[in-house]
Structure 1
């Protein structure tokens, strides 16, 4: 069967291209010269896109219609697919008895899917047709060539243009391109593409089409990376809703999976965990309030949570906001088989495609983490193949990941005798202040053992406002109990500044350049000093056995001088009294 299109319809048909993410239908008023021959039609189809959109893809091109020579453009639908095309037009205004060639009618009448979210009769037609033909090998299958990979083609955000070109066996006409390779690939499959070969002197009729497969962004951040024990790390995950138009309802997947790790193989909830102050909030741009947790009567996110991780499933919520279209699964002699239908998603109101999804939540630090860090991973799992699945099938998904780490630092104090230098046990130290914030109520204490060591194993540091990789805090430490047979000054405190740098990013981050410094302030300042380097540093604090060994500064010095003054005054009085008695005896 042939259909003739004169200049107006011909220009639209020649530039015919509809696919994913902005593949324009190319309706143009330009016209071709009369008297077209086979030489005026292109003999190739080129698919362009970013490295990851095309990397390791496998496309099948199925010829739907051909262009014939003549003063006007004659379109002939391929007999092998003519019934499939008519089936896909079921429910449209197409009338086979009066409208003639089905592909010519499509080009002249279906022009409503040229921009995001690519919904409408033309998209429904292509989805239905691709479902019918998705198992077809295609007369050009496997003959694509010319993909130009870049050095960084493994990068999810690679944008360098690359191409697949199909040269073998292509003659002027209209082709359906099906993206066959998704399983495990970063980019989801393109929704099916309809493209015409180039035609001489017709604007935009280039025989080229751009694929912008869905690679949703994923970023995980933490407000402060150096977190102390009993403090909360504040995490944020940002991603976006990929295009869901054309995906089968009930088979669409969009999940965010978060887990805590202290090493590369296992969860470790002994150091960081999700507790009852998890405080999860899920938001999507364009939706005023945070998305609620799903209930039997209210659509929302589905949450599965443990101390070691959680999953937020937004699949059902996104489906609830989408529109739907019923297509036929099966035809017999052009007649849809009863009860053999599938429902596919169309754009909703509001359309969520491309909208930013944000998760914020807290994780409790429960123990020493150290400079290697505790890793928190997030995984995005999303549908990658807009096909109609057979009953019992499991939808295929793509996963991408991001990572973040948190750390903390130790403070080791060694108590020694001022005279002998021997370690002293039984000294009790308490951190009473951090950067001007009183911490007395937190009861952060440590007691020296037989080796003289008292350790605060997991302290957090303040992030620099200008350089987010730099951390520093000043702690005031008080000796609240002296070792046996030793004494305390009236101001038994000292101040230590701890600084560090987070080097590297994501899973490769580590805490480096950790430094300890005794700073001015406190009666024990002159009795405290730092030995060693990095996290192996030890603050040694000497302890006096009697008051004469105490530092002569501040209140302690005043007290010592007062005592000595009183002793001297008493001795002078005694000498004076004896002198008077001696004088009187001599005068008697």
Structure 2
């Protein structure tokens, strides 16, 4: 887990303790205080509070009806750990003893979130380090019951019924094991009650007590969207990933995990900073794999997009776009595409519901079969140039029913050749109809009759009504298109045969007369 930081508006330990007084600790108000966390909270994050310090209200100073300062002492259960943490994170010598208390020392010397000049170098980082190290001492400590889980992104988190004092707030995701203590946020102080009056502001800067604004120092959850949530198999859609580089981030990486039903076209990937027209140069980020088509596998289930210099883009909103082909493995009940940030368990899932095309036409014959011809078998073959082959298990043969209707379903976008394979009894087998049909996003966009039986395929109302006929005699073929050409060819052959016969008979008669 990464350290999450509470920024402006947070009543951290140093806010409470800077310029404090010391002395015996007076009793704190019990069960009357609360702490509210707001801001960029993330669904599924579990926040837990630990009371680590108490107020010394006897030493509090109230000036002009405002709380100017108040003393604190570290609670006994935490005192040894706080002392040990100081030796490794704040100072190599126990100078806090001059203050009489480890929490008082940390606040008084860092001046964190106050106008008090810091007496330690890099005071903000020192306080952050102290909080982070103290959160590593949770074993055996008693937490506020219950912990609070964020139901929806940006929901407020409220700890109520608290004793007044200082609290260490830690967080983790709800997918992490219960034994994981969680990452530190900060030390947050509640209201302070002095002589019956509850104060929610402290010091000349009017720092707010009991409230904190969450701004993750590492990205927690990216957003993701698809240009079409109901695409047809064989279609290409655009995915958009978005996330803001945190103010203190040293790295920033999307981890994208598409389902097997998506073929990601990495060569189409572009990275933009929101608000800027031109995409970033490809030298500003690294995609792994770098190019080509990406299909998830057990060996490499994800691809990544990482900024090469995250510090350069701190606070910037990053937008990534790429195209993906919905391939034959797409699950029509829901095809997922997940994204998260590196080193985070907060995943965003975008689910598309792919669709497949259907081609329907009517088979008709002659005589009694003029309106419908039952029992005729057709086969369908996908064009080799289609972006997506037929999904495994797709029926490639269909038979006309009682009303002559033939249906091929489960077709990705593309072009197909449909040919009559087995005609009905008594029908011509030498001029079987065939046609190509193109389907795209639920519509037939083109029909082209082909072969000797081309004239047997007709359509009207665009391509809404496709009719495929068959005949019993060659003379019943339409005199148009290829079928008409065939008929004329047959007639020509017959005439040529007649001419040859006449010529032969003429030669025979002439030889007889000459004899």
The answer to whether TM tops 0.5 is yes
> Taking structure 1 as reference, are residues 246 and 121 closer, same or farther at Cα in structure 2, changes over 3 Å only?
farther
Tell me the TM-score normalized by structure 1.
0.51
Q: Residues 311-460 of structure 1 correspond to what in structure 2 (within 5 A)?
A: 311-314=302-305, 317-318=306-307, 320-322=308-310, 348-351=311-314, 353=315, 355-363=317-325, 365=327, 373=332, 375-382=334-341, 397-421=345-369, 422=373, 444-450=416-422, 459-460=439-440
Identify the residue that residue 71 of structure 2 maps to in structure 1: 74
Helix, strand or coil at the partner of 1:279: strand
> Taking structure 1 as reference, are residues 362 and 21 closer, same or farther at Cα in structure 2, changes over 3 Å only?
farther
Q: CA deviation at 1:409?
A: 0.9
Kindly indicate whether the alpha-carbon contact (under 8 Å) linking 2:226 and 2:350 is maintained by their aligned counterparts in 1.
no
Identify the residue that residue 582 of structure 1 maps to in structure 2: none
Distance (whole Å) between structure 2 residues aligned to residue 447 and residue 164 of structure 1: 72
Helix, strand or coil at the partner of 2:128: helix
Distance (whole Å) between structure 2 residues aligned to residue 429 and residue 488 of structure 1: 19
Per-residue Cα deviation, 1:320-361 (whole angstroms, up to 9, x for no partner): 534xxxxxxxxxxxxxxxxxxxxxxxxx2320x562342312
Distance (whole Å) between structure 2 residues aligned to residue 496 and residue 545 of structure 1: 28
Helix, strand or coil at the partner of 1:24: coil
Identify the residue that residue 170 of structure 2 maps to in structure 1: 178
Identify the residue that residue 469 of structure 2 maps to in structure 1: 542
Identify the residue that residue 87 of structure 1 maps to in structure 2: 88
Is residue 2:225 matched to residue 1:220? yes
Q: Work out the number of aligned pairs and report it.
A: 391
Per-residue Cα deviation, 1:361-394 (whole angstroms, up to 9, x for no partner): 2326469x7xx737432122346xxxxxxxxxxx
Q: CA deviation at 1:221?
A: 0.9
Q: CA deviation at 1:195?
A: 1.0
Q: 2:160 aligns with which of 162, 165, 174?
A: 165
Distance (whole Å) between structure 2 residues aligned to residue 474 and residue 41 of structure 1: 76
Kindly indicate whether the alpha-carbon contact (under 8 Å) linking 2:48 and 2:170 is maintained by their aligned counterparts in 1.
yes
Distance (whole Å) between structure 2 residues aligned to residue 303 and residue 215 of structure 1: 23
Q: Residues 204-283 of structure 1 correspond to what in structure 2 (within 5 A)?
A: 204-211=207-214, 216-223=221-228, 225-227=230-232, 231-241=234-244, 243=246, 245=248, 254-261=254-261, 274=263, 278-283=266-271
Helix, strand or coil at the partner of 2:143: coil
Distance (whole Å) between structure 2 residues aligned to residue 138 and residue 44 of structure 1: 24
Helix, strand or coil at the partner of 1:300: strand
Q: CA deviation at 1:217?
A: 4.0
Distance (whole Å) between structure 1 residues aligned to residue 450 and residue 375 of structure 2: 15
Is residue 2:287 matched to residue 1:301? yes
Q: CA deviation at 1:236?
A: 0.8
Distance (whole Å) between structure 1 residues aligned to residue 289 and residue 83 of structure 2: 47
Q: 1:479 aligns with which of 446, 449, 470?
A: 449
Helix, strand or coil at the partner of 2:124: helix
Q: Residues 287-298 of structure 1 correspond to what in structure 2 (within 5 A)?
A: 289-290=279-280, 292=282
> Taking structure 1 as reference, are residues 127 and 414 closer, same or farther at Cα in structure 2, changes over 3 Å only?
farther
Helix, strand or coil at the partner of 1:143: coil
Q: CA deviation at 1:164?
A: 2.6
Kindly indicate whether the alpha-carbon contact (under 8 Å) linking 2:50 and 2:168 is maintained by their aligned counterparts in 1.
yes
Per-residue Cα deviation, 1:274-332 (whole angstroms, up to 9, x for no partner): 38x65341414268544648xxxx86232287534652224xx35x534xxxxxxxxxx
Kindly indicate whether the alpha-carbon contact (under 8 Å) linking 2:46 and 2:173 is maintained by their aligned counterparts in 1.
yes
> Taking structure 1 as reference, are residues 47 and 166 closer, same or farther at Cα in structure 2, changes over 3 Å only?
farther
Distance (whole Å) between structure 1 residues aligned to residue 318 and residue 362 of structure 2: 52
Q: CA deviation at 1:37?
A: 9.0
Helix, strand or coil at the partner of 1:407: coil
Q: 1:63 aligns with which of 52, 61, 64?
A: 52
Identify the residue that residue 576 of structure 1 maps to in structure 2: none
> Taking structure 1 as reference, are residues 279 and 543 closer, same or farther at Cα in structure 2, changes over 3 Å only?
same
Distance (whole Å) between structure 1 residues aligned to residue 129 and residue 51 of structure 2: 14
Q: 1:134 aligns with which of 136, 155, 161?
A: 136
Kindly indicate whether the alpha-carbon contact (under 8 Å) linking 1:410 and 1:456 is maintained by their aligned counterparts in 2.
no
Distance (whole Å) between structure 2 residues aligned to residue 224 and residue 177 of structure 1: 39
> Taking structure 1 as reference, are residues 302 and 363 closer, same or farther at Cα in structure 2, changes over 3 Å only?
same
Helix, strand or coil at the partner of 2:259: strand
> Taking structure 1 as reference, are residues 308 and 458 closer, same or farther at Cα in structure 2, changes over 3 Å only?
farther
Distance (whole Å) between structure 2 residues aligned to residue 303 and residue 211 of structure 1: 34
Identify the residue that residue 459 of structure 2 maps to in structure 1: 494
Identify the residue that residue 46 of structure 1 maps to in structure 2: 35
Unaligned residue ranges in structure 2 (runs of 5+) = 62-69, 116-121, 193-197, 383-413, 425-432, 484-515
Kindly indicate whether the alpha-carbon contact (under 8 Å) linking 2:458 and 2:467 is maintained by their aligned counterparts in 1.
no
Identify the residue that residue 534 of structure 1 maps to in structure 2: none
Q: CA deviation at 1:56?
A: 7.4
> Taking structure 1 as reference, are residues 194 and 547 closer, same or farther at Cα in structure 2, changes over 3 Å only?
same
Unaligned residue ranges in structure 1 (runs of 5+) = 1-17, 115-119, 262-272, 323-347, 384-394, 432-441, 462-470, 499-516, 519-538, 557-588
Helix, strand or coil at the partner of 2:88: helix
Q: CA deviation at 1:246?
A: 7.9
Identify the residue that residue 506 of structure 2 maps to in structure 1: none
Q: CA deviation at 1:406?
A: 2.6
Helix, strand or coil at the partner of 1:448: strand
Helix, strand or coil at the partner of 2:313: coil
Helix, strand or coil at the partner of 1:397: coil
Helix, strand or coil at the partner of 1:349: helix
Tell me the TM-score normalized by structure 2.
0.57
Helix, strand or coil at the partner of 2:86: helix
Q: CA deviation at 1:87?
A: 3.4
Helix, strand or coil at the partner of 2:131: helix
Helix, strand or coil at the partner of 2:133: helix
